[in-house]
Chains A and B, each alone.
Chain A
Amino acid sequence: MPRAKSKLGAWIDRTSFRAAEFLNPILIKEGRQALKSRGFSVPFLLVLLACLFWSFLGVSINENVYYGAVGWDFFSAYYLILAFPLLVIVPFGAFRSLTGEREDGTYELLSITTLRPLQIVNGKLASALMQMAVYLSAVAPCIAFTYLLRGIDLFAIATMLFWLVSASLLLSVFCLMLATLTTAKHWQVLMSVMVIAALMFIFFSTFPIVLEGELQRLPWGLAVETWEFWAGSFATFSGVSMIGALSYSVAHAQLKFPTDNRSTSVRIVMLLCSVVYTSWIGWASYTFSESADDVIAPIAISAAFFFPFWFIMGAFLVGEYGELSRRIRRTLPKTMAGRMFTAWFIPGSGTGYVFTICCAGAGSIFGIVMGFYADLRLPNTNTMFRFIDTRQLVQILVYFPLYLVFYLSIGRLLVVGLRKRIHVGVVASLLLHLIILATGCIVPFAVDNISMQTNFRDMETRHIIETTNVFWVLIEAYEDNISGTIFALHLLGLGGVSMILILLNLNSVIKEIRQQRVAEPKRVREEKAAQAGPPAPALPTNPFSD
């Protein structure tokens, strides 16, 4: 501990020493490294120089600087200077920080300490936040200068900086998650190139948004004074946060020990994502709607994002292994009721399969109920959303889970079958599902188009041929080209096959949920008892009482 000579210095030393005890060790280590590293000091100096350069250039070329309100012009330039380190350097630094540790072998040394995976992820994020703060402090005097130039208010400055820091944090979490996905050197190199390219793309995408002042009007061009602005901002922020939370939980899960439960927390966040998105879409549809169409159309559009999300998540979950380690089995619920409700959150291919279907099914039912409720409650006026009706919404919200069940069931049967011969992990499972989906779409499409050249058919026959082509059928459903008969035939055919596929999957699903809870080993119980301290001494009893 360094010792200062003056009383104040000594007090600062003592206080900072005590405060540092509560900080994440990774933050302290990376802070120390950053202070000595050129990788940090050079970009920092460049940001300072860029700000200085723009200050001189801006003042010299802008004739209105003495009389007009030019704060916004100056701020835009400083904002873009700041955006580069925050959107490119900091997230890429977070990515390299973890991949670099894996390359140098220091991650292994870190992983066998008592630091938990969550602390490792938090440490890396805290380090990213610290860097953001330093870059912000470099640009802060210039931003204060723009306020003095007028033309921009404090609220706009705060809002824009808030979104920039949020974006930087989100990108850092996402990059950290990517860094945990692979340990193979060649994949890491490939991923590094992709990450830097994506970050540069995002950085350059901010140019038109900033220069045209769109960011200041977020969300959706609403006026700041309105409560809708705040609700919309909060909705946007919570939606973005959910992506961050999902990336965070995946990164945390990936760093866990192989026998740890890597799935439950990710499933909870997946479910939370669905609930948050569904709630906001539902709320926004009602709040801003003047007619039933304003509700039904956004739900139908959201479904186009909601179900692909669950297809990808489902493909990952189906790729999990169902054999639970003794460590996980210790945490299984004790009661029958507990097991019934939480069984779908425990790791495993079968539980993941049921979990995905249930979540997608619940979303679908929610959408249908909302559609009917809007249809009954709100008037049907001709608004801009008058391109979809309740019947179409029902069709779309039935097709989506049906196809999800169809493809996930086939995918899972294949994964289970292949595992008897080879190892199939989560990434392989996703690839397999994508191949099955592509086959299910391309084959009928090719058959339909090739045979069309020789034998022209009506649309109804084509709809039957294209039954497994989810993209064809859904586009037709959105365009209201699916007749009641075809819908019934699809329902009967696809529904029937899906039911059979569910039954085929059910046997292995039941095996997974019947796993028995195991007791903690004696040594662990002893350790817990030792940590809890000696048992409290028995109180003296009254010899005269009964």
Chain B
Amino acid sequence: MISRGDRPMIELYNLHRFFGRTRAVDNISFTVREGNVFGYIGPNGAGKTTSMRILATLDHPTYGDAYVDGFSVVDDPDHVRRRLGFMPDYFGAYANVNVYEYLDFFARSYGLRGKDRLKALKYTMGFTKLDGLAEKPMTGLSKGMKQRLCLGRAMIHNPSVLVLDEPAAGLDPRARIQLREMIRELADKGTTILISSHILTELAEMCDTVGIIEQGQLLAMGTVEEIRGETAEHAAVHIQTLDEMPRLLAWLHAREDVAQVSSEGKNVRFDFQGDKDAQAKLLKELVQENFPIIAFGAKERSLEEVFMSITEGKVQ
């Protein structure tokens, strides 16, 4: 039996989507488990929105399939829609409608009736901090308010999966922090979230798993730490030694995988070409060479650095 947290809520199997000769999504497969936040990273035109639209049943794959809570988006879109909330990268406003009426319309459209609908509206407006804006026309909302309203619309029917396409785009820092807190709170309550963003530092803080996509292909996937580790071919290494600095510098200069060596007092800094295994091997060799090492550290690269090293910035 699958326990909570192990249950796959989003599954993509060999997903392909072609537009003529353009391969918008080219053989993507991954799984997101219940309550996890999956960050989708990629340059513009990488295929993030297309695959998210397929998950939201707004588009259909050329080949392959995607599942939400075990239901195929191709064969059972009606079941998927009951479980999924989608926040696209556009607003989708109605003229002459206020905040309450907008949410009320979507609550009714998701089949919520009577007291259930009123409860859902009250909860959603409270959660997204829109209580004071109920009577405000949609046209008078700020960007941050609109994004909160969009999130409210996506979660009004209490979906088990939320797909958020660039939710933080164009928000000021305060609004971004508020949105991040809301997303984290939803995840803590068990909602599975797939989120795409260009603000990578935020994704690193928010996501359990990230996937990097370019030209329709998934280039890397895992936890932020795993991705940093997997792709760490270069690291800024810092060594502190008690003695034998000249011999250490000569030994490092002689190595082909070491570059840009600099020293200051008992500290040596250099660029090392190699992954974590190679770093461990380097430390072992230093000890075997009887250098009195008292500190060894390799600075982890940021997600932005990882993203830049993996992607080439190509679009189709």
Measuring CB to CB, which residues of chain A are less than 8 angstroms from any residue of chain B?
1, 18, 21, 25-26, 28-29, 32-33, 36-37, 104-106, 108-116, 257-259, 325-327, 330, 521, 523-524, 527
Contacts and interface: CB of A to CB of B under 8 A. Distances in A.
A527 B75 contact: no
Contacts of B84: 112
A42 B201 CA distance: 52
B74 interface: yes
Contact of A113 (B71, B81, B91, B113): B81
Nearest to B113: A21
Most chain A Cβ neighbours within 10 Å, of B69, B75, B84, B106: B75
A33 B96 CA distance: 5
Interface in B76-102: 76-79, 81-82, 84, 86, 88, 90-97, 101
Given A21-B113, A257-B77, A114 B82 contact: yes
B109 A114 contact: yes
B88 to A, nearest CB: 7
A28 B56 CA distance: 25
A327 B65 CA distance: 13
Interface residues of B, number: 39
A257 B93 CA distance: 23
B115 to A, nearest CB: 10
Contact of B88 (A25, A29, A37, A105): A105
B74 A114 contact: no
Given A33-B95, A112-B86, 10 more contacts: A1-B118, A36-B96, A37-B95, A37-B96, A105-B91, A106-B93, A106-B94, A111-B58, A114-B81, A114-B157
B296 interface: no
B251 interface: no
A521 B94 contact: no
Contacts of B82: 114
B110 interface: yes
A25 B113 CA distance: 11
B116 to A, nearest CB: 10
A330 B79 CA distance: 15
Given A28-B105, A114-B81, A327 B75 contact: yes
Nearest to A23: B108
Contacts of A115: 109
A36 B95 CA distance: 9
B159 to A, nearest CB: 11
Contact of B58 (A28, A32, A112): A112
Contacts of A527: 71, 79
A326 B71 CA distance: 13
Contact of B57 (A21, A112, A327, A523): A112
Given A111-B58, A112-B86, A523-B71, A25 B93 contact: no
B76 A327 contact: yes
Contacts of B86: 109, 112
B316 to A, nearest CB: 20
Given A21-B113, A29-B97, A109-B92, A326 B75 contact: yes
Interface string B59-80: 0100000000111101111110
A69 B303 CA distance: 87
11 contacts: A25-B105, A29-B105, A37-B96, A106-B92, A109-B106, A109-B153, A114-B110, A258-B60, A327-B74, A521-B71, A521-B76
A108 B95 contact: no
Nearest to A22: B113
B114 interface: yes
A327 B60 CA distance: 13
B111 interface: yes
A123 B277 CA distance: 63
A257 B71 CA distance: 15
Contacts of B56: 112
A523 B91 CA distance: 33
A18 B95 CA distance: 26
Given A21-B113, A114-B81, A257-B57, A325 B75 contact: yes
B78 A114 contact: yes
Nearest to B78: A114
9 closest A-B pairs by beta carbon, nearest first, are A25-B108, A113-B109, A523-B70, A36-B96, A29-B105, A327-B75, A33-B96, A105-B92, A106-B92
A524 B92 contact: no
Nearest to A17: B114
Given A114-B110, A325-B75, A108 B92 contact: yes
Contact of A105 (B75, B76, B90): B90
B104 to A, nearest CB: 8
Interface string B221-238: 000000000000000000
Contacts of A258: 60
Nearest to A329: B75
Contact of B92 (A26, A104, A523): A104
